[in-house]
Structures are given as C-alpha cells and as structure tokens.
Amino acid sequence: MGLLALGTALDWPDAQKRAQQVREWGIKQLLEIWNKAKYKERDAMLWGDEVEYLVVRYSNEAPKVLLSLRQADILKALAADEELATKGGGVPDLQVVKPQGSNPLPVFHPEFGRFMLEATPGKPWGIGFKELLDVESDMKTRRRIAKEHMESEEYPITLTTFPRLGVPGVFTDPYYPPSGPKLRSQFVPDEIANPHIRFPTLAANIRWRRGRKVQVNVPVFHDVNTPNPWKDPTVNYDLHNWPEDDDVRNGAAPDNFIHMDGMVFGMGSCCLQITFQAKNITEGRKMYDQLSPLGPIMLALTAATPIYKGFLADTDVRWNQISRAVDDRTAEELGEKVSTVLDNITKTPSANEHQPLKESRWRIPKSRYASNSTYISTDPRLRPEYFDPNLVIDESIKAQLLEGGMDDLLATHFAHLFIRDPIVIFNEDLEELDLTKADHFENLQSTNWQHMRFKPPPAGSDIGWRVEFRPMEIQITDFENAAFSVFMVLITRAILSFDLNFYIPIVKVDENMETAHARDAVLEKKFYFRKNPFPNRTPRSTVGSNANSPIASRPATPVSPVEDEYALMTVDEVINGSKSEEHDFPGLIPIVESYLDSVNVDVQTRCELSTYLDLIRKRASGELWTAAKWIRHFVASHPTYKRDSVVDDEITKGLVSAVIDIGEREQAGRGWKGLNVPELARLLGQFRGGCGSNGVKRSSDEIN
Ligand code: GLU
Ligand code: MG
C-alpha cells in the first residue's frame, strides 16, 4: 500500500507545519515527471495483479482460529530463500522491465495489518492471451510459497476480513492487550499494525489530524433474535486511558451499528487490484475514465465482507469501512463544527455546513479513501455534465501545474488530490528537494486511495503511464481471483479496441458505490449505467454545465440531455446484457466475447478463457453466489448460530476451516466435488472442469 521509507517520522503537529512544503515539492517533482514523460510513446501493454492475504493460525485441536502476527518473520523467511532471491524478479506495480523468456518467482510485500501479506507476480503480465492462462497457476504458486514459509499451523487465506478482529478477548497470536498510544483503539492493540514506523504513524496522525478516533460504524444485520434497537455489546464506555476514550461517551457508537475505532478495521481488509500500463498518456487517461464506472459493478460482483468484529453486518463489502478507517477530515472539514471559543466542541453533523471556516481550508465531501472524483481523458465524448459539481481543488496548485505546462484536466485532477495533507513525513526528506525522485509527490498520491489511480511513470524508470483498478474484493480461491483479473484485462482491451464509452456523471458513480454496499446488491439492486457504450461521438455541450468542470467553456452544441444517456440496470443486465423497453444494453461479457472473436485466439485458449468468463456471467445472473452470500449462508446454517447476528469463535473456526480446505483442494488440483460444505458449489460452480486438448470443455464430474 505504498512505499516504505526510513527515517524520523514527524508527529502530527510538526508534520502539519511542513505540509505545505511537501505539497510544493511534490508538485515540482510531478512537473518534472510530466515534462519528461508526457510524450512517452509505445510502452508495452503490460499489466499486473496484487493479491492480499490474511495469515491465520488454525489447528483442528485449538478451540479458536487466531490471526498470526508473524508477518515480519514470514517476510524474513521469504527474503532468506535463495531460490526466491535469485529467481524472483520484481517489486510492486510493474516496476521491472519484463525479463525476456525468464519466469521469475513471485514477490511478497508487507501490508498494513501485521497479520497480512501481499503477493505480486515476479514480472508483469504481457499482452498475449496465453499468458492470461498463467495467472491462476501463478496465484497458486504464490499461495504455496507463502505457506511454505509459514509454520505448519499458519495459513495464508483470502477472506477480506477476519471475522473476529477486535472482539474482546484473544484474537491474535501472540496476544497483546488493546489500547496503545498510536491507535488508541479500545478493541485492538497497536501491535496489530505493521511495526514499520510508517504504519503506526499513519494511523496516529490520521487520528491526531481528525481530532478524535476514526469511527468505523457499520450497520448490524438484524436477524430474528437480534435486539432492536441493538447496542454494540463490546463497547466499553468506562475506559479512561486516553482522551479519545471520550469518543464513545460523545456518541461515536450509535445504536444499530457495529462500532470500530481504528485504522486496522479498514486497512486490515484484503483486496484484488489490477494495474495496467498504457501505451502512452492519452491511452492511460482514457482507461482511467472508462474503467471508473465499472468500479461499483465489480465491487458488488466480488462482495465478500459480511462480518465485522464478531457480528453479521447489514452490508456486503469492505469499501466504506476502509473509507472511514482512514478518514482524517477535521470536524470543520466535515461540516460539523462551529469554531467559536465558547463552543468549540459542538458536533452537530452537517448543521454548520454554511458557517465560515475558521481553521480549515475547505469543507471536503469525501474521505481520502473514496470513489474517484475526476475524469481526465482528452476524449471529446467527455461532457462537462459528467464532472463532479462538488469537486474541491487547490487553486494555487492548479495554477502552478498550468504554469508548468500541464493541461487543465490533469491539473484539476492533481489539484484535487493535493487538497489533502501529507500524513507521514520523514524529517530527513525535508532537507533538500531531489527532483530525480518522486517521494513528495508519492506521499500525497499514494495516500489518496481512490477506486482508480492514475500513475505517472516513476522518476528515472522505463515504466510507462499506468492506471490501477482498486475496488475489487479479494476472492476465496485463486480460480476466482484469476477470473476477475482476466475479465478486467479483457474488458480493458475491448474498451480500447472498440473505443467504448461508459461515461456517466461522477455523482452517479458515487451513488453506485453506495448501492454496491447493500446485502446482495449484485442481485437486488440497480446501478446507473450508460445505455449505449458504442462510439457515436457526442459533441461537447454546455447543457446543464457546471462551473467546476475544466471543460465548461467549450462551445455549446445542443445534444441530448445527459440523463437520457444512462439508465438503472441490474448487475446481470450490465454483465450479461439486457433487452428492456428502456434500454438495449449489449452486456460486458458479450462485448468481451465479440472482442475475442475479433482477434486471433486459438480454440484451446478460448475455451480456457471462457471458464473464467462463465464465473463472472453466472455470478451476475445469481446462478453462483458471492462469497458474502456464501459466508452468510454458512453462518446461518451453523449449529451454534442463535440468529442473533453473533458470529462466535466456533462459527469462525468452521468458516476458516472450510476456506483452508478449499485452498488445499485447489493447490492439489482436486476440484470442488465432495467439499465438506456442499453449498461451496454455489460459490465456485460445478462447471469448473477445464478444457480437453481439443479445446472442448469437460465437466467437473469427468475430471474430479
Ligand atoms: N487493502 C486495501 C483495500 O482493500 C488496499 C491497500 C492498497 O492500496 O494496497 O482496498
Ligand atoms: Mg496492497
């Protein structure tokens, strides 16, 4: 989740004093990169995936499954492995030139939680279709290697969150008591975070800047025996270790919400991210815009997060919890606080929105981790009406970028990211500005966790312009993770090849992101989506234009209202196509299929690819379940579940045991048949049979 630098990390009051300097230096570094790389051409179409894992300690005998906090030891063991060192080839985010003909082993990275690991392929994936078929086995290799460097009772698993994180009592190995100076959480110890100074400082300074702890409140799922109103029974109102212990006495833990109070409740979640390298900046900007409306759809399709802190939640995905877990906005930025001397603790949400600001520069509508707020493509189909009318930008930063030669759209994008303060600043980095580096730029860039990230070429490298797709939840199996990766690659190729147009207003993407949180949104909800994705070029207009749009001043040509361009569709309609009175949407899978028809793919490869596409298709239609649905079903049918929303140690142990079982079958290539939990078939599909050498699909029954 970002670069690891070493040095003396400043506490928030000191960091705040240097924030402007970091922003200014960051902008200078960005302009340096921009001027060097803006005409960079013909970069290879590479891509990479990132898989994040939880490390659990599990044995049949032990009554509980625990999170193992041995991340550092496991990484040390991986680093000491000579084979990995000599055959491993990469560092994160495609930062290696593809070694020709070699097949480097995967690379492992730390993540925020001390119980997490991240793994990437040893080299970026290339353009070949056959290579898409290597992704799944590479993911399996990563899991195998990770496991080989763990203790026998430790397992890397790909659940998004650990169901019992933050429950009173023991949930980690080793045990540490909660409530340390950095997180000040009443539920988790500081030792829950990666001990590298960057991570606890990030957590502490977010809290410090905000003026209270983060509030990660997720609605509880009301089952038949769940009290209504429900009060989170794990909240301690009588703690007096830190001033922040007052938060819950001041209303931080409302009824009917599972209350969490530390960065780890968000950043301790696992996701699947895909980074694409574009052939040039224009293509990168186009990918950024066109993939953005797919974010909420893919979030709903990959939903895997129905449990928090030992309770069933009423939402299915991790997104908003991470958003809140790193929300460093002050009360005033949130529009909550009247900053008068007499009344500087009044917190009436939104009531004071129109009060003049006393301490902050802006009211800021979104957290640093949120759906993205800009479109940046030079595509003539980008209409002013699509832009976010609430976009906040730093005008002086925008002016510097324009002055430095950047165009309005991109300058607006970065002037928006740079409204934030840098959270972790190392004293040593402030001595001298090094324009051959990108550290100050990255400081802001990599702590703007939006659902898309536009990545300029790292200073002094061969790498091109890249775009990262960030919303997807990690899936339980490598088969699924490979399927979603392959699908994202193919839809991106189709977008470029057919010049597809998925533009809808950014506010509608925001709304879709909220919609994706609902239980079973994949089947139950509708999302705004563009009706006609094909490239009939719409002239720009200023119909209903908004003043914030960087292209608002383009000449007006009357065209159809933007509202006519999109409609509400189910995920099934978006993925598989629809024929309703109102719209006739072709469907993303049929689009991918016609893209595959238009290129040269051999029968065998095509058959193998369709195994992945089938998973996406069937998940969208409801024939297969999301992990969230399967986990809910697992909990509901467990003998100790009392229909009171409580997910106890025994249920958690059963769930993790099933997940380990699936992983071991997958490693052994044993297929899914006869799994100890029959409903797993609903998650993974019985069809997972593979293709014969003649490219003909075989059913799982034939090969299990
Ligand atoms: N784990 C975070 C998530 O689930 C992402 C961290 C990163 O950017 O690597 O979205
Ligand atoms: Mg990561």
CA geometry: angle 234, 237, 243, nearest 5 deg: 120
Highest mean pLDDT among 31-45, 312-326, 333-347, 599-613: 312-326
CA pair distance 82, 229, nearest whole angstrom: 57
Run of H or E including 307: strand 307-308
Looking at all shown ligands, the one closest to residue 446's CA atom is 1
Cα radius of gyration (the chain)? 25
Question: Is the sign of the CA dihedral 622, 157, 161, 445 positive or negative?
Answer: negative
If you measure from the C-alpha of residue 368 to the centroid of ligand 1, how many angstroms do you get, rounded to a whole number?
13
Task: Give me ligand 1 centre to Cα 91, in Å.
Answer: 17
Estimate the crossing angle of helix 478-498 against helix 588-598, to 10 degrees.
70
Q: Give yes or no for a contact between 239 and 179, defined as CB atoms under 8 angstroms apart.
A: yes
Indicate the helix (H) or strand (E) that contains 157: strand 154-157
Which letter, b or e, does each residue of 625-660 get, where b requires 16 or more Cβ atoms within 10 Å of its Cβ?
Answer: bbbbbbbbbbbeebeebeeebbbbbebbbbbbbbbb
Which residue's CA is the closest to the ligand 1 atom numbered 10? 271
Are the C-beta atoms of residues 448 and 321 closer than 8 Å to each other? no
Of 188, 166, 294, residue with least CA distance to 233: 166
Distance CA 398, CA 414 (A): 8
| Distance from residue 196's CA to the centre of ligand 1 (Å) | 17
Helices (H), 246-317: 264-267, 281-291, 295-301
Alpha carbon nearest to ligand 1 atom 9, residue = 1
Question: Cβ(1) to ligand 1 under 6 A?
Answer: yes
Please report which helix (H) or strand (E) contains residue 47, including its range: strand 47-57
Distance between CA 136 and CA 589 in Å, rounded?
Answer: 20
Q: Is the CB of residue 119 below 6 angstroms from any atom belonging to ligand 1?
A: no
CB of 52 closer than 6 angstroms to any ligand 1 atom: yes
pLDDT value of residue 687: 46
Q: Say if CB 170 and CB 64 are below 8 A apart.
A: yes
- Would you place residue 581 in the very low, low, confident or very high pLDDT band (cuts 50, 70, 90)? confident
Alpha-carbon distances of 482 from 41, 48, 127, 295, 455, rounded to whole Å: 29, 11, 16, 17, 23
Going by pLDDT thresholds of 50, 70 and 90, the confidence category of residue 98 is: very low
Pocket test for ligand 1, best of 118, 158, 199, 267 (most atoms within 8 A of CB): 267
| pLDDT for residue 658 is more than 60 | yes
Which atom, in ligand 1's list, is nearest to the CA of 446?
Answer: 8
Is 271 close to ligand 1, i.e. is its CB under 6 Å away? yes
Question: At residue 402, does pLDDT exceed 80?
Answer: yes
Confidence of residue 84 (pLDDT cuts 50, 70, 90): confident
> 398 exposed, middle or buried (CB, 10 Å; 0-12, 13-18, 19+)?
buried
pLDDT one-digit tens code per residue, 486-545: 999 999 999 999 999 999 999 999 999 999 999 999 999 999 999 999 987 554 444 344
Mean pLDDT over 186-191 rounds to 98
Question: How many residues belong to the chain?
Answer: 704
**With pLDDT > 70 as the criterion, what percentage of the chain qualifies?**
88
pLDDT higher than threshold 80 for residue 560: yes
Q: Report the nearest atom of ligand 1 relative to the CA of 268.
A: 1
Q: Which ligand is the nearest neighbour of the Cα of 117?
A: 2
* % of the chain surpassing 90 pLDDT: 79
To test the ligand 1 pocket, which listed residue (322, 368, 372, 450) has its Cβ within 8 A of the most ligand atoms?
Answer: 322
Of ligand 1's listed atoms, the one at least distance from the Cα of 52 is 1
Structure tokens at 388: 């976010």
Q: How far apart are CA 540 and CA 553, in angstroms?
A: 10
